[in-house]
């Protein structure tokens, strides 16, 4: 497949000469601003709880990936791989952070130690192994990443596995609540947040094979929905959980 940099791609003609790409650099900037703003809101209002601080950190991780994508698309070519590594480090920490949020609500830290160890291993891998990421190209509508096949399958198992584990832990705990209490509501909204970016990506992955190299880019684009849900629904509900104790 031949991939070209966003800046060198021809723009299709449209009314007024403007083109809208779903995950283009202007959208990356807008998403970055939204996620940083939500992170600031969460840290300001909920910094006294571990849940609030972790949720704010998740929002900053999402915004870091958006910044990395933007720099890949608009920055100098010699910085592309460095920003790709930064972006992958940020998203590598997301699955275990999500599981940790679930554990704070359910108070059942299942598989957290394994998740921490695995996430740290992949962070070191992306930071220090030269062939971990071999290419990152801004393709106009998203960023395409080429990674070495050495640990690609294992990384996919880690990533999808811990996302599904977080979802399953949340669903399992929801079934234990007989009443509509804040803990149950917080977990329900957290599951909705998970589905908001996992479900659309799954559909694209199955129906449009060309998007598979852009899984990270597209998934984090949809994750802005998770950012809103986390900041405006889940974190306030967790405060009600603490107040009820």
Tokens (6 digits) for 64: 């870091």
pLDDT computed for residue 207 by the predictor: 84
Predicted TM-score of the model (pTM): 0.86
What are the residue ranges of helices labelled H in 129-181? 152-174
For residue 14, is pLDDT > 50? Answer: no
Question: Taking 80 as the threshold, does the pLDDT of residue 122 lie above it?
Answer: yes
pLDDT at residue 140 in the model: 67
Give pLDDT, residue 15.
31
Q: What is the C-alpha separation between 85 and 88, in angstroms, rounded?
A: 5
pLDDT digits (tens, 9 = 90+) for 221-238: 889 999 999 999 999 999
Q: Is the pLDDT of residue 142 over 70?
A: yes
Q: According to the model, what pLDDT value does residue 54 have?
A: 97
* Average pLDDT for 38-65: 96
pLDDT at 187 over 90: yes
pLDDT band at residue 169 under the 50/70/90 scheme: very high
Over residues 26-54, mean pLDDT = 95
Q: CA geometry: angle at 146 spanning 87 and 166, to 5°?
A: 50
- In this prediction, residue 4 carries a pLDDT of 38
Computed over every residue of the chain, the mean pLDDT equals 85
Q: How many helices (H) and strands (E) does the chain have?
A: 10, 2
| Size of the chain in residues | 245
Residue in this structure with the two tokens 């974190």, named with its chain if needed: 235
pLDDT grade, residue 1 (50/70/90)?
very low
Residues 6+ apart with CB under 8 A from 214: 139, 142, 143, 144, 145
The answer on pLDDT for 171 being more than 70 is: yes
Spans of all domains in the chain: 22-165+177-244
CA-wise closest residue to 182 among 237, 236, 107, 230:
237
Higher per-residue pLDDT: 25 or 88: 88
| Tokens matching residue 237 | 């509900």
């Amino acid at each position: 497949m031949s991939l070209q940099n966003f800046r060198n791609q021809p723009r299709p003609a449209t009314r007024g000469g403007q083109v809208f790409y779903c995950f283009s650099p202007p959208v990356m900037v807008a998403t970055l601003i939204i996620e940083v703003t939500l992170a600031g809101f969460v840290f300001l209002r909920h910094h006294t709880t571990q849940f609030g601080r972790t949720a704010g950190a998740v929002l900053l991780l999402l915004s870091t990936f958006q910044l990395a994508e933007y720099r890949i698309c608009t920055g100098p070519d010699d910085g592309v791989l460095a920003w790709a590594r930064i972006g992958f480090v940020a998203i590598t920490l997301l699955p275990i952070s999500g599981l940790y949020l679930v554990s704070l609500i359910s108070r059942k830290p299942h598989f957290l130690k394994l998740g921490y160890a695995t996430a740290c291993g992949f962070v070191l891998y992306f930071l220090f192994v030269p062939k971990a990421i071999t290419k990152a190209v801004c393709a106009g509508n998203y960023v395409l990443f080429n990674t070495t096949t050495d640990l690609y399958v294992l990384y996919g198992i880690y990533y999808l596995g811990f996302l599904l584990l977080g979802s399953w832990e949340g669903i399992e705990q929801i079934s234990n609540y007989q009443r509509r209490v804040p803990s149950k509501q917080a977990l329900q909204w957290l599951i909705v947040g998970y589905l908001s970016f996992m479900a659309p990506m799954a559909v694209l992955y199955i129906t449009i094979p060309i998007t598979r190299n852009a899984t990270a880019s597209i998934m984090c684009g949809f994750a802005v929905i998770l950012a809103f849900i986390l900041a405006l629904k889940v974190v306030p509900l967790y405060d009600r959980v603490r107040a009820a104790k």
